[in-house]
Amino acid sequence: MSKSETSARSARAKALAERLAGRPVVLVGMMGAGKTTVGRRLATRLGRRFLDSDEEIEKAAQMTIPEIFAQRGEPEFRAGEMRVISRLLKENDLVLATGGGAFVNSETRRLVKDGAVSVWLKADLDILFERVSRRSNRPLLKTADPRATLEKLIEDRYPIYAEADVTVLSRDVPQDSVAADIITALLNHLR
Ligand X SMILES: O=C(O)C1=C[C@@H](OP(=O)(O)O)[C@@H](O)[C@H](O)C1
Annotated binding-site ranges for ATP: 32-37, 138
CB of 161 to Mg ion, least distance (A): 14
Which long-range contacts does 103-107 make (Cβ < 8 Å, 24+ apart)?
A: 103/28, 103/29, 103/160, 103/161, 103/163, 103/164, 104/156, 104/157, 104/160, 105/78, 105/81, 107/82
List binders of ligand X among 80-99 (CB under 6 A): 99
Binding status of residue 79 toward ligand X by CB under 6 A? no
Binding status of residue 39 toward ligand X by CB under 6 A? no
Binding status of residue 35 toward ligand ADP by CB under 6 A? yes
Binding mask 2-31 for ligand ADP (x = CB under 6 A): -----------------------------x
Q: How many Å apart are CA 18 and CA 16, to the nearest integer?
A: 5
Closest to 146 in 3D by CA, of 130, 168, 167: 130
Q: Which of the listed partners (Mg ion, ligand X, ligand ADP, none) does 3 bind, with a CB threshold of 5 to 8 Å by partner kind?
A: none
* Angle at which helices 3-20 and 175-189 cross, to 10°: 50
Which residues would be at the binding site for ligand ADP (CB under 6 A)? 31-38, 97, 131, 134, 170, 172-173, 175, 178
Task: Give the footprint of ligand X on this chain (CB under 6 A).
Answer: 31, 35-36, 54, 65, 99-101, 138-140
